[in-house]
Amino acid sequence: MQESFFNSSDAVRGVKPLLHARQWELKEALRLEAGGVLERVNVVYETYGQLNAAGNNAILICHALTGDSHVAAHDSQDDPGWWDIVVGPDKAIDTDRYFVICPNILGGCRGTTGPNSTNPATGKPYGADFPFITVGDIVQVQCRLIDHLGVQVLHAVVGGSLGGQMVLDWAVRYPSRLRAAVAIATSTRLSSQALAFDIVGRNAILSDPHFQAGQYYDTEAKPAVGLAIARMLGHITYLSREAMTRKFDADRLAGRAVKGDFETTFAVGSYLAYQGHRFVERFDPNSYVAITLAMDHFDMGDTPKAIAAALKDATCRWLVLSYSTDWLFPPIQSRNMVDALVGRRAQVSYCQITSDCGHDAFLLPNDLEQYGEMIRAFLDQLGTDGSAATTPRIPLASAGHPSSPTSIFHSRRIDLDSIAELIAPGASVLDLGCGGGELLSLLRQRGHKRLVGIERDPMAILECLRRGLDVVGADLDGGLGAFGDNEFDLVILSQTLQSVKNVASVLDDMLRIGQRCIVSFPNFAHRALREQLYSQGRAPRAGELLGHAWYDTPNVRFLSLIDFEEFCRERGINIEHRVALDTSTGRQVVQDPNLNADVAVFVIARNGRASF
């Protein structure tokens, strides 16, 4: 086994060596996807924690464009890693629990073979002779390393940005080698806007007169200006406009003196000049070109349909995270990916984290309480599959969030069992507005297999993840297009109809997706409310059921049982079953339900073809 402590001989000169990094050489030549062969490939990598006896606790972390193997510090004396906030003992990716592997990627410049490595054919650095590589080639090398380390099946592959593209490639290329994929702030291909920034950056490098067709290693002058320009440009795209305003706007003319010749008049200018200068010291222009080209050519399509085709071989479970102000890998791209996975009936959870930190958010502590805990919950519950044995980290009582409409199934346990009787054993269920996943958990205990929740509250999504459930973060208004016709036996909208603005389109979608649907809502023709309006002259306030007044209730739609029945009749919707409830007694109402029930539950289905 050719393994040695890595001494950085192949890496960018002057960069501090990675003390804990190891080096390993592939036993055979690497055939590249686009043609070409690399005869010798070294891999520099670092590991954290221990592989357990069962060999099933390994997590591979894929770094982004300019990262390296040093994902975290190994001890208190060690240099900080690029993801110290997420990786380490008791952190979201807990190195006391998992065996974490992070290699420097192919094409990089910190030890793994790249353009600055010696070309065995010439004895000199590859430079521009380094062949065109793909994300798939990077992943191939990672897989050989995993083989070498004796890991058959990875617990998960985790990565953000370009690292997220590697995660996607892993899921398709080696489906039997990973149980889960965590794809963060990434996409199935760059937007033309993101691509354009990379192109301008490369043009700056390649046009730098010191680039000399990539053979600058033996010369004094390097294409430092071009690389710095590319880096400055990149930096702008990693930050959100909001974050830049916060950082630089208060004192915008307060530029600092920075080494080099770049403009430093403005605060943001001196920041960019500093970033550009520092980057040139640690990164190789040829690597920047090679890796961005790999990233730019990565293409699993951009529509849910094309993406679904590209991901057809994937079998793993998924956690997809995006950040609201990330405009380089915008949330819509993650959402398309999630829609594609949903369309393929993959097990996928998704959350768009509200953040003002832009693309960099996944590297920053600001929103760690959400995204870090989601990663932790997903990884930790992966094996449990939501069974009753798992203990959520927060009490069930918090399942109902006062700020979001909450299922009666969740907040009013009294009718949970009677409602559950409406659900056929083993039925696949889509729960719209699933809250913390209480109903879905119950159904899972009863042996239901395909269970999916839709929820918009991130804390409720986190709770679902802690229960090991699959939950997609989305608004109901306009978010159900990804689900196929008749994809679920049952679609549930419990106590949410009254807070949905586009009632007709949400119900249309439900009836398209579900063989049947269960809809529950408060009855605004309940005796108490009728009397309130009739004798007191007060507008009926079913919102009071949830502790709200007319002016601040989340409810925006007000209907009675017969209003809903009329709606169904007019639209050719078949009412298969109706349960009218008096929640004060917990009993079903038989006598004049439109007067005596305060909550109604309907089982409905599309009555043949749509009549409208």
Binders of a copy of itself among residues 211 to 240 (CB under 8 A) are: 225, 228-229, 232-233, 236, 239
Residues 6 or more apart whose Cβ sits within 8 Å of residue 520:
408, 419, 493, 494, 495, 497, 599, 600, 601, 602
Contact 208, 289 (CB under 8 A): no
Residue among 24, 82, 197, 298 that touches a copy of itself (CB under 8 A): 197
Is there binding between residue 124 and a copy of itself (CB under 8 A)?
A: no
Residue among 204, 342, 399, 589 that touches a copy of itself (CB under 8 A): 204
Residues designated catalytic: 161, 326, 359
Task: Tell me how far apart the alpha carbons of residues 63 and 82 are, in angstroms, rounded to a whole number.
Answer: 9
Binders of a copy of itself among residues 398 to 427 (CB under 8 A) are: none
Contact 363, 87 (CB under 8 A): no
Is there binding between residue 261 and a copy of itself (CB under 8 A)?
A: yes
Is there binding between residue 434 and a copy of itself (CB under 8 A)?
A: no
Nearest to 170 by CA among 254, 62, 243: 62
The region of 101-109, 139-147, 558-566, 581-589 touching a copy of itself under the rule CB under 8 A is 558-566
Binders of a copy of itself among residues 35 to 54 (CB under 8 A) are: none
* Residues 183, 472, 343: CA angle, nearest 5 degrees: 80
Q: Which two tokens stand for residue 412?
A: 């009013």
Q: Which two tokens stand for residue 255?
A: 């530029």
Binders of a copy of itself among residues 338 to 397 (CB under 8 A) are: none
Task: Tell me how far apart the alpha carbons of residues 59 and 91 are, in angstroms, rounded to a whole number.
Answer: 14
Nearest approach in angstroms of CB 267 to a copy of itself is 8
Q: Specify the residue for token string 């192919």.
A: 106
Comparison of 198 and 438: residue with beta carbon closer to a copy of itself? 198
Residue among 56, 118, 119, 191 that touches a copy of itself (CB under 8 A): 191
Residue among 29, 200, 309, 610 that touches a copy of itself (CB under 8 A): 200
Comparison of 273 and 442: residue with beta carbon closer to a copy of itself? 273
| Residue 38 backbone dihedrals phi, psi, to 5 degrees | -105, 115
Q: Which two tokens stand for residue 549?
A: 């007044």
Is there binding between residue 610 and a copy of itself (CB under 8 A)?
A: no
Comparison of 32 and 199: residue with beta carbon closer to a copy of itself? 199
Binders of a copy of itself among residues 279 to 338 (CB under 8 A) are: 296, 299, 302, 327, 330
Contact 607, 572 (CB under 8 A): yes
Tell me how many residues contact a copy of itself (CB under 8 A): 72
Is there binding between residue 202 and a copy of itself (CB under 8 A)?
A: yes
Binders of a copy of itself among residues 483 to 542 (CB under 8 A) are: 501, 503-504, 524-525, 529-531, 533-534, 536-540
**Dihedral Cα 582, 586, 591, 593, nearest 10 deg:** 30
The region of 55-63, 150-158, 188-196, 403-411 touching a copy of itself under the rule CB under 8 A is 188-196
Judged on CB neighbours under 10 Å (0-12, 13-18, 19+), 25 is middle
Residue among 53, 552, 608, 609 that touches a copy of itself (CB under 8 A): 552
Q: Which two tokens stand for residue 514?
A: 């579900």
